[in-house]
């Protein structure tokens, strides 16, 4: 083990106070923005969700997780549901039905302890495959945001929908922003005085102020806005049926594999002493309660995720304080700006979010380094291949079957 690995191991084994409030916690708290904002903006603009309820639910979920787990815990949209919703333009009522179903399913498997049985039955190479696949997908999505080719950008017909300038000569502006912020991140990634994530977000907001369309800023009216309970009413039977079959069932394998099992495994690596509350059961129940809250406020389906945890940790977050910082920020924006808060969100270029995703994905992919044998390495590679060809749920299931089959001495790779 070289000196850098020894330093990292010592850092992970160190005991941290449950709540820290400093520049690194602030920087780490921004690590989830690359996963939250693109889908959240898409579901607000395309599917009709209310920004007040959505961001208030996110903020409250952050705070609840920080207070209970006492280490940094990610909050993310459920990507299968969110991506399908944005791509097809389904109604807000169907998204709310999916949120309600998610609460019920997670409450069932978490409350009964079934998730613990499932989690213990999943071989570690499969967990590494889920983490590697998620990392690759995050890097890919980050690069697409910089190139301007993500589905959200394609729908708007612009790489940077909220910037007045789209290119400098033949080069897309997002690529220039991404390259500059990426280089700055490489130089500042281990800088504790000037944390990289703060530079990315701060510089991105400055670019938005200088070159942005300033959409929504002129209409901004600070005040005190209160959310509506069940703003879309109760879902109909048809909405519930559609949501279960089309949205929730395809999402659940990814949620179990990434948001519960892979997330708990990574948290144990990062916080062997302080992360004992981050169990399969606790993660399932926290997501259940978070989705119940989101359903009541008209928000989006939410989960945890290994990618978000890797990003938060890499950019400096170590304690529940990072959750409280970003949670309070989201709550204040929601309550003080209400429907007008999108004017602030639009200032952050898509390319800046892309940089956060690239470094989150790279950090998560490196968990593969503890796989030693050919059989152990084969399973994660198989999971990645099937994920890229199909989806993470299929990769997760196929990888689990392969991992059990390869335990036989009669099979080799």
Q: Is the pLDDT of residue 264 over 80?
A: yes
CA distance 160 to 389: 28
- Say if strands 302-303 and 76-77 run parallel, antiparallel, or are unpaired: antiparallel
Full-model pTM = 0.87
Average pLDDT for 341-353: 90
Provide the pLDDT for residue 10. Answer: 40
Tokens, residue 330: 């989201």
Tokens, residue 351: 């390319």
CA distance 119 to 110: 11
DSSP 8-state assignment for residue 409: T
Residue of 179, 161, 181 lying closest to 171 (CA atoms) = 179
Q: Which residues pair with 168 in a beta bridge?
A: 171
Average pLDDT for 150-162: 85
Provide the pLDDT for residue 191. Answer: 87
State pLDDT tens for residues 200-255: 999 999 999 999 888 878 788 888 999 999 999 999 999 999 999 989 988 888 89
CA distance 138 to 143: 9
Q: Is the pLDDT of residue 7 over 70?
A: no
Tell me the CA distances in angstroms from 373 to 43, 52, 57, 134, one per residue in order. Answer: 43, 50, 44, 22
CA distance 326 to 63: 8
State pLDDT tens for residues 119-128: 999 899 999 9
Provide the pLDDT for residue 14. Answer: 61
Q: Which residues pair with 76 in a beta bridge?
A: 303
Q: Is the pLDDT of residue 77 over 50?
A: yes
On average, the pLDDT of the chain sits at: 90
Portion of the chain with pLDDT greater than 70, in percent: 97
Average pLDDT for 26-43: 89
Min mean pLDDT across 11-20, 107-116, 238-247 is at: 11-20
Residue partners of 368: CB distance under 8 A and separation at least 6: 128, 131, 132, 377, 380
Q: Which residues pair with 163 in a beta bridge?
A: 212
Residue 203 in contact with residue 177, Cβ under 8 Å?
no
Residue 231 in contact with residue 91, Cβ under 8 Å?
no
pLDDT higher at 115 or 5: 115
pLDDT band for position 49 (cuts 50, 70, 90): very high
Burial of 63 (0-12, 13-18, 19+ CB in 10 A): buried
Instruction: State the residue for tokens 């209409």.
Output: 219
Tokens, residue 17: 């106070």
Q: Is the pLDDT of residue 8 over 60?
A: no
Residue of 287, 244, 247 lying closest to 263 (CA atoms) = 287
Provide the pLDDT for residue 372. Answer: 87
pLDDT higher at 181 or 363: 181
Provide the pLDDT for residue 64. Answer: 97
Helix (H), strand (E) at residue 241: helix 237-242
pLDDT higher at 37 or 61: 61
């Amino acid at each position: 083990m070289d000196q850098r690995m020894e330093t990292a191991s010592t850092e992970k084994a160190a005991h941290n106070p449950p709540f820290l409030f400093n520049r690194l916690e602030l920087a780490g708290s921004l690590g989830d923005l690359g996963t939250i904002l693109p889908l959240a903006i898409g579901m607000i603009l395309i599917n009709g969700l209310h920004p007040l309820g959505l961001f208030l639910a996110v903020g409250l979920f952050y705070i609840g997780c920080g207070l209970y787990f006492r280490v940094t815990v990610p909050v993310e949209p459920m990507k299968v549901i969110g991506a399908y919703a944005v791509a097809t333009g389904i109604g807000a009522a169907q998204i709310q039905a999916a949120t309600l179903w998610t609460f019920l399913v997670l409450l069932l498997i978490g409350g009964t302890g079934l998730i613990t049985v499932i989690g213990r039955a999943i071989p570690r190479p499969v967990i590494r495959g889920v983490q590697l696949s998620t990392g690759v997908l995050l890097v890919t999505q980050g690069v697409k945001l910089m190139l301007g080719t993500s589905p959200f950008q394609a729908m708007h017909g612009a790489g940077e929908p909220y910037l007045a300038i789209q290119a400098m000569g033949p080069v897309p502006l997002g690529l220039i922003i991404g390259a500059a912020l990426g280089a700055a991140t490489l130089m500042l990634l281990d800088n504790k005085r000037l944390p990289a994530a703060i530079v990315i977000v701060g510089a991105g907001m400055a670019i938005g102020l200088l070159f942005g369309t300033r959409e929504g800023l002129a209409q901004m009216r600070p005040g005190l806005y209160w959310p509506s309970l069940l703003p879309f009413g109760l879902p109909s039977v048809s909405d519930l049926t559609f949501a279960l079959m089309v949205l929730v069932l395809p999402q659940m394998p990814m949620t179990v594999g990434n948001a519960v099992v892979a997330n708990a495994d990574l948290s144990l690596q990062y916080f062997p002493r302080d992360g004992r509350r981050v169990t399969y059961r606790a993660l399932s129940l926290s997501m259940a309660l978070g989705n119940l809250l989101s359903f009541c406020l008209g928000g989006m389906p939410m989960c945890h995720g290994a990618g978000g945890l890797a990003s938060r940790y890499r950019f400096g977050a170590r304690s529940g304080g990072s959750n409280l910082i970003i949670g309070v920020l989201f709550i204040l924006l929601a309550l003080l700006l209400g429907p007008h808060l999108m004017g602030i969100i639009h200032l952050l270029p898509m390319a800046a979010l892309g940089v956060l995703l690239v470094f989150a994905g790279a950090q998560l992919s490196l968990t593969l380094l503890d796989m030693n044998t050919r059989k152990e390495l084969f399973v994660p590679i198989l999971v990645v291949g099937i994920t890229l060809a199909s989806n993470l749920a299929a990769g997760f299931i196929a990888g689990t079957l392969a991992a059990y089959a390869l335990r036989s001495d009669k099979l080799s790779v």
